[in-house]
Amino acid sequence: MQTLKQLSALLKSKQLSATELAQSYLDRITSSDLNAFISVNPEQTLAQAKQADARLARGDAGELIGLPIAHKDIFVTCGWPSTAGSKMLSGYNSPFDASVVEQFRTAGMVTLGKLNCDEFAMGSSNENSYFGPVKNPWDKAAVPGGSSGGSGAAVAGGLTPAATGTDTGGSIRQPAALCGITGQLVLRAMLRISLAISAIHSRA
């Protein structure tokens, strides 16, 4: 797996297009059995990738342009269902983006889809989702941690180079540890997190 920095260098040197990169990850998601993703929208993803390619062609120097990302389903996301892992919100489509999704999209990142999580981010194993449990890519009989288990499993499994998560009592840190990746818990003051579906107060 390549890092975000390495992928960014490939995009800027035109060795790879954002569209090609997005399609390669969509193909991996389709063939995966980790149940890390709740929903994908290839048409929407590739449209964002084409916009990123246009920005790169104009010489836009943004570090994140064209890089794929997937979002924990706790964040409302225009173009994808936003369910918080719950049957209660099954099929809900938000007309707007959560602030964190908006910020990454404005920076030029390409959304691959929405990631599985414990229902309303309440759990520590990612077995409590209406859409079924997420498998740990290192041992499919093991849990990936939660509640951001879909995020941890997707990054560790090579389905996305980056993912968002939320953390109230370890929901970023635990999946990062169990899936063997780096999870960054940022200060609330550093990031606007409005429009996240939440049962309790959470730090992004």
Residue 17 CB contacts under 8 Å (≥ 6 apart), including other chains: 11, 49, 53, 56, 66
Classify 114 as helix, strand or coil: strand
Active site residues: 72, 147, 171
Closest CA to 149 of 129, 126, 128, 170: 126
Start-to-end CA distance of the chain, whole Å, equals: 25
Residue with tokens 């740990």: 136
Which residues in the chain belong to E strands, given as ranges? Answer: 37-40, 68-72, 110-115
According to DSSP, the β-strands at 37-40 and 68-72 are unpaired
Q: Are the C-beta atoms of residues 76 and 97 closer than 8 Å to each other?
A: yes
C-alpha count within 13 angstroms, C-beta hemisphere, residue 66: 30
Six-digit token string for 123: 């759990």
The 10 Å Cβ neighbour count of residue 34 is 21
